[in-house]
Structure 1
Amino acid sequence: WEVSYYTSLNCENSKHGAVTAIGENLQYGFVANNHLKFGTKILVDGNLKVVKDRGSNRYFGTSNAIDVFVPRLDRESDYKYYKRVNNMGRHYQEGYIIIEE
């Protein structure tokens, strides 16, 4: 998976703010992907993630790209929050789609 990270800040979200594309408040474990169905579970780097959001086609043109939501730390300023999350970068990690029957 090509993994990137995003914040709850308005500059990284739609005009609706810190909510997912399906209207849920952003929370730990949520990821954005433009090709998988909402609710799809993905195991990446030993952590379970759930597709609950969509992202820009500019960055998510392939099905194996995910944007991981990162919550704000207690009392963290917007500037420090943005810097911390964006310093996580973009990289590749092994991951699997979880199929439930």
Structure 2
Amino acid sequence: MAIAQTSGVIIGESLILPGVISDSDISVLYRCADPFVFPSVKEGWGLVLLEAIAQAMLDILGNDTITVSYSFLARYSWAKSAQMHLNLYRQLLQYAGN
């Protein structure tokens, strides 16, 4: 927020900090935005990035095009995530039993 204030950005006008956003509103807000900016130095990949790719947002910080990004999106789904977690839990239970 300090960077926005020192650069003259008016919070509430050109920069909106909405807090928690409902699932029903998130896709509408992504479609209303011009670029998607993800200036994280600690999280290289996360749910928010997947949401932006799903809405065909332009990631101005990345080197990949939207088409390339879609190939990454295809690797992720709730079903795949659940299966990965299930496999991990099975491995941990096997390890604990030995």
Tell me, yes or no, whether TM beats 0.5.
Answer: no
TM range (shorter): under 0.3
* Length-normalised TM-score, structure 2: 0.24
* Length-normalised TM-score, structure 1: 0.24
- Greater relative contact order (Cα < 8 A, sep 6+): 1
Based on CA coordinates, which of the two structures has the bigger radius of gyration? 2
Higher strand share: 1
